[in-house]
Structure 1
Amino acid sequence: MKIYHQHIGLLFIAVSMLLIPASCSLEGTNVNPNASTQVSVSAVLTGAEVALGFNLGVNAGLIANIYIQQASGANGDAASFDNYASSIQYFDQTWRGFYADVLDELKIVKTTAAQQKLPYYSGIARILSTYAYGTLTDLFGDIPYSQSLYGNNVANPVYDKQEDIYKALQGQLDSAILELSVPATANQGALPATDDVIYGGNVERWKSLAYTLKARYAIHLTKINSVEAAQQVLKALYDGTRYRGIADNSADALVVFGASTTNANPFYQQNSNRPGWIGLGASFVNLLNGNEVTDAATKPEGPLVDPRRAYFATPYPTGSSTYRGSAPGVPGAFSVIGSFYGTATSPVIISSFSEAKFLEAEARWRLNPADPLVKTSLEAAIRSSFQRVISNPADPYATTDKQTAYVTAKTTLSGVASSDLNTIVTQKYIALFLQPEAWSDYRRTGYPALPLAKNGTSVANPNGQIPRRIPYPQNEQSLNKNTPAGSGYQTPALWWDK
């Protein structure tokens, strides 16, 4: 499958950090609206879903999660990401990967589905497009939206304001829900099935993902209006008293990969082809060890080890029972990505029941810290993460008693606002390991309170602070005259991060 194999190449360019400039900018890679759309909507959807999984994992996930010290650019060219000194040429592939290899393909699906009267395909493509645009704007801020995907007909697409994009994303999700709510007989052709590698054509699960994403984009606006953001989260997740977000682990949105070299999980390929380049950050491993993010990486494990530790991380030294992360900005790989994400058939997670319950817990806490459903939702979020990640009943750190002790400790709220928000968001930070959403949570809340990276000061990051955005890529700055000037790792601030 063509798209699929293209992304094997992207892995080595974007994740292995080879300095190969992309050959074309947004305007040179977008779909030509005059081109034929007489294609297999089924095949294009499959390719777009796999492409999204790859790009989410390597062109967004690893970059974002290095910044927030879940992962570490431990060696090789990856080390430049650890102290925010990478060339902006590296971000060309992030930009192109989402626009050209995901959004262009999804536009073909939507266009063809409209022509052939296939609302289920259109609704799925609309949700995935919203997700791709949402990821891009949360990485870069203002981006081409209304004039994107028009090829040479719009040679220099304008950059829409993030505030306007967010309104459009919510509207697109509403439209997708309507399309997926029509009877199956409204589709004048085959229905999505195995060609949909995420949900197998289950439209009810697609709708639950759409509602969960509406809640995600709502929670991003807590700096703008905390109460309204929380209200919108609960409005998305509940229709009155009826819950309609992702309802259990079986409904998690995943892209699952194969065992062969050409279709393996991107994190596995990274570890296999560039061993030691990507490690785990000390802040993250410290939490797994039951310590604080600011503790020394060599501190012995605490009394309450995270039951997911053996699945998220590998021991260091190999064969030992100890785990150690890389201090931010200091080269050197110790523990690396573990078996849950690091095997050939590991998933890339788009969204999950665990995320939905964290969203609910935070929203309820913001509206009423004494609401007993805060604790209920938080416990469900952590336990669902355990259920998905933990697979070895003989693991002495992950017994039923150990899991219960952990959940009891981590869902006990103090009534002190800063402490309780820290508890909720830090637990979400652990559960959403290698998902770029954790970076959005850090930027809007400041939790967990991560230490600064050594040697993190540069022209693009003058005060050495943890990045709050990604600079616009080299190709866009060179070839699109509408690209805003002066972007760095801190400024201009994203609309929802001001």
Structure 2
Amino acid sequence: MKKYLNIFTLLILLSLLSACKKDLDINNNPNSATGSNIQPALILPNAITVTAANTLTYNNYASILIGYHLPGRGVSGFNDIYSYNFTSSSNTALWDNVFTNLKDYQYIISKSQNDPQLALFNAIAHIGKVFNYQRLVDAYGDVPYTEGLSGAENVSPKFDPAATVYQSLVKELDEAIAKIKTNAPNAGTTVTELNGGSDVLFGGNLTKWIQFANNIKLRLLVRADGSSIGSFVTAAYTTFSTEGFLLENAIVNPGYNASSKQNPFWNSYHSSVTGEATSIATYYIPSKYIYTFYNGPLLTDPKRGSLIYRNFPATPTGQLGDERNNPNAIPTYSAWYTGTGTGLTATNTIGVLKGRAFGMPVFLASDIYFLLAEAALNGHVLSGDAKSNFDKGILASYQYLETNANNAIENGQNPSTDLKAYQLANQNNYLVNYDLASSKEQRLEAIITQKYIASNTINGFESWSDFRRTTYPKIQANGSPTTTFVSISSASPRPDKLPVRDVYPQTEYNLNPNTPVINNAFSNPIFWDLN
């Protein structure tokens, strides 16, 4: 417990220092580097913790775009979400928070670059940097990568082409893995520091860091497959490290607790440390569209439906853009399953939220299985065939939801039995039973649809990226609330009435003349979006 308190004390101090600097510097550039003499061992836990918190920021924003949840009646400030008419003032945290996080990783990289004793910190920081840069590319396209973290040396960094950045990120991961392998045998005190609290993701397990890097690399390659860098992708598929992939949930936990620093997911979807219900708990609702994957007519899945939603199978109301004037849109407390009690009386449970002290997921086991399935579908068999990984991905989804706040399968739960019941209940549907898919396109639809279900409320940004890339899960143009998640107030001129990207923040336009001019969210799709 003492090491966790030390970590949180450090996080508070860093936050105060950052806040003071921001208040004093009216021309603060989010691309500037951190200036300090703090050791990497003290910066790393903050960097990883913030990465996890940013995962929630991306999830909450994209979950509305992809139909996981809707802002209920009475919530103001969502006009750009209702219309998708994003401007340079919309969703700015997606850019600003990630670049702030990247400065932490870059600080570690710079501080450890020429110190063999800090080589492992250097490698881990590079992995964290890649994880964050992919988010930026997937949201914005071109980003300042080669010059973006130069700090005061270059306050107007150039923007590198998104496809080029993707290639650089793959190479950066390969180099980080090689550095870990080279330095692990003589790590000594470095591993002790990682085990002692610096590594709040894997506790100094270097094999897991290599596998995690392989996971991120696979996500990059799957997303870019078939794009303008197709030949690079094909070659990179042959260069995975032999340690394989991380086939478990990657969970960040710096010592979350109920009294002072609870899990950001709980803090966002449930209640504060004082027991006050959050705006999401009070006003957010599921879409009718997402319920069709649990309560028909598309699929039947009462187990996962009841693990995610508080009032399942009660039918939700509204569609994005419609619920503003819907008097039935506001839930009595929370639309998500939170066990018994409310506020401070709420108990730990299973499902999406689990408890105040549970960790933050940054990469789900289901996600890597579905990535492996899609890679195999495209001819890159890395660890099992497409069908086996497809089934394992669904199983991993049940396992995660049936895991309790102690990170163990809850007594009385049986994910394997639940998977079989799911397959039987949908025995004639290729979206559940992979062998029934009669074409490559149907198999891709099955993989992405199940990945969409497994990511529900947990990782909406991945689902939005997958939808832009594949157009799955299927929606109907101008459909009803049960056949589409598209807002009825959409201003998009596209046939699907959806956005394809985010718009750079106004601060970038003010500070950096190299920022690409993006007039709206309906054009200039990301390079891997071929639709």
> Which TM-score bucket, shorter chain as reference?
0.7 to 0.9
Q: Is the 8 A contact 2:228 2:527 kept in 1?
A: no
Indicate yes or no: 2:151 matched with 1:151: yes
- Determine if the alignment matches structure 1 residue 411 to structure 2 residue 433: yes
2:509 is aligned to 477
> Does 2:352 align with 1:341?
yes
Pick one of 218, 221, 230 that aligns with 1:218.
Answer: 221
Are positions 1:198 and 2:201 aligned together?
yes
2:524, 2:26 → 1: CA distance? 25
Q: Does residue 383 of structure 1 match 2:382?
A: no
Structure 2 match to 1:299: none
Give the match for residue 251 of structure 2: 254
Q: Aligned equivalents of 1:5 and 1:282: distance in 2? A: 41
CA contact (8 A) 2:374 2:386 kept: yes
Identity %: 21
2:286 counterpart residue number: 280
Q: In 1, Cα distance between the equivalents of 2:384 and 2:44?
A: 42
Amino acid of the structure 2 residue aligned with 1:406: Y
Closer, same or farther: CA 185–237 of 1 in aligned 2, 3 Å? closer
Give distance in 1, aligned partners of 2:454 and 2:236: 19
Alpha-carbon distance change, 41 to 399 in structure 1, aligned in 2, over 3 angstroms: closer
Does the CA-based 8 Å contact 1:382-1:431 persist in structure 2?
yes
CA contact (8 A) 1:79 1:277 kept: no
How many residues in Structure 1 have an aligned counterpart in Structure 2? 458
Residue 310 (structure 2) pairs with residue 314 (structure 1): yes
Query: Matches of 2:420 and 2:228 in 1, distance apart?
Result: 35
Native 8 Å contact 1:441 1:447 kept in 2: yes
TM-aligned CA distance change 1:233 to 1:279, over 3 Å: farther
State which of 430, 443, 446 in structure 1 corresponds to 2:453. Answer: 430
Paired residue type of 2:167: K
Q: 1:307 to 1:355 in 2, by over 3 A?
A: same
Query: Matched residue of 2:216: which SS?
Result: helix
Q: Residue in 1 aligned with 2:66? A: 68
Cα distance change of structure 1 residues 324 and 49 upon mapping to structure 2, 3 Å threshold: same
Matched residue SS, 1:404:
helix
Q: Match for residue 43 of structure 2?
A: 44
Q: CA deviation at 1:415?
A: 1.4
1:17 corresponds in structure 2 to none
Supply the distance in 2 between the matched residues of 1:442 and 1:429 (Cα, whole angstroms). 9
Aligned equivalent of 1:327: 319
Decide whether aligned partners of structure 1 residues 238 and 186 sit closer, same or farther in structure 2, where only a CA change above 3 A counts. closer
Is 1:167–2:167 an aligned residue pair?
yes
The alignment's C-alpha RMSD in Å is: 3.3
Aligned residue identity for 1:446: T
Deviation at 1:143, TM superposition (A): 1.1
Q: Which residue is 1:134 aligned to?
A: 134
Unpaired runs of at least 5, structure 1:
10-20, 293-301
Give deviations 1:20-76, integer Å, cap 9, x for gaps.
x998677355215xx44x312112000011111111111x11112211112223341
1:203 deviation in Å? 0.5
Find the aligned partners of 2:30 and 2:395 in 1 and give their Cα distance. 46
Give TM-score, length-normalised by structure 2.
0.77
Instruction: Tell me if structure 2 keeps the 8 A contact 1:246–1:352.
Output: no
Is 1:180 matched with 2:180?
yes
Q: Secondary structure of 2:282's partner?
A: coil
Q: Distance in 2 between matches of 1:6 and 1:278?
A: 33
Which residue in 1 is equivalent to 2:366?
354
**1:57-99 CA distances to partner (integer Å, 9 max, x unpaired)?**
11x1111221111222334136432442466424332211110
